[in-house]
Structure 1
Amino acid sequence: MKVPKYYLVKNQIIELTAGLEPGTAVPAERELAERFGTSRTTVRQAIAELVADGRLERAQGRGTFVASPKMLLLPQVSFSSNAMSQGWRPGRVVVSARCEGASGVVREKLRLEEGEQVTRFEVLRTVDGEPLAHETVHLPGDLTELSERLEAQDSLYRMLGADYDMGIREVEDVVETIPCDPVRADLLGVSTGQPLLLVHRTGFGEGGRPVEWTESAFRGDRYRFVSRRTL
């Protein structure tokens, strides 16, 4: 099978940058083309894929640099615990919080009756100040009072269990990939169409009652999904 030239160059750039610290500048396209005996167009395509893969990052007017390593997404632990275990500083920004009538999809996920209300939190998750994930959380009833405590980085699951008798005992995660829409692109500071890792989570309380439904969109260039189970 014939391997495309840009793919060979892509692997050569990976070898060239292996072991370099994040933020290290990558040689210019012209220099790389001369080094690998190919065209700048081929180098440009290889770099574009490495940027999409999250290995490199571009800064307008400054050049191309080695990107920070991807964060491991471990579904069995919380976002904050996950980030801190990998040496990152987690943060949360509440974009909006409102009580509204549950839509058909939300009613189905939370097993609500028509006309029942839910609280909808829109949240940006950050690591070292950089937005990495956009979450939309749905909870039954009016819990908008939690907004300030969430902004202060209090644990949602701890609050639900301790203050509202809505402790979550089990979660179900459904994972898919989607292209980033313009709204999320603006919130996350990425390009429209960039791949996102979308996790639909339903949290179940006592007796299997659903008490949370959350959609979390993680930047595909900064995350790797890891799942380990005992068989």
Structure 2
Amino acid sequence: MSLVSTIRRTFVPVHRLGYPFIAGFFVASVLLGFLWEPLFWIGLILTAWCAYFFRDPERVTPLDDDLVISPADGRVSSIAFMTPPEELGLGDRPMLRITVFMNVFNAHVNRSPMRGTIRRIAYRAGKFVNAELDKASHENERNGLVIETRHGEIGVIQIAGLVARRIVCWTHEGATIEAGERFGLIRFGSRLDVFLPEGAEPRVSLGQIAVGGETVLAEFGSAKGPVISRRD
């Protein structure tokens, strides 16, 4: 095994968008260390956390067009029928919405939940209330993608939170995207909402920890019925 392969297996890659932040934390640590040595070590710990925050691990995504894959790491905080934000153009009828809440310790790279074509990208400025609150779906700063899939149009919304102040999306309208493919990132805590058309059945439970690019959130065309779970 080569040295490069060993390093890649040992250390999780860091997304390039995190490099300026990591460098800034480190420089600040050095400067503060000249004033008082303990500040250097505190800053070094924060620098390590920043690198951890911007980690971008490889994931193994199930290749099945009937499956809806989690777009982010985090906790499933809501499974409900809600009306999607109007800027997505998905109509005014309630759709199945599954929410994944990311805290500041989760990986924050966002991934497509299904394979398809991006029909619309709609950014909307807004507030920065707690992303766990239900009203954050309509009041907070957000960036929504509408993806045309074999089961119809789905909505994927990046929502800012109390700490998150920067939503990044590097895909574009008309692009073809694969399930599990990276399309964006939200800095420092937030959530992802996935709106699904009729026929989708949840495959997760409230409070479950989801892994972006791997955990199946929902499934189309299944006769299994809703998930039944228990907490031990």
Please report the TM-score for the alignment, with normalisation by the length of structure 2.
0.35
Please report the TM-score for the alignment, with normalisation by the length of structure 1.
0.35
The answer to which structure, 1 or 2, has the higher relative contact order (CA under 8 A, 6+ apart) is: 2
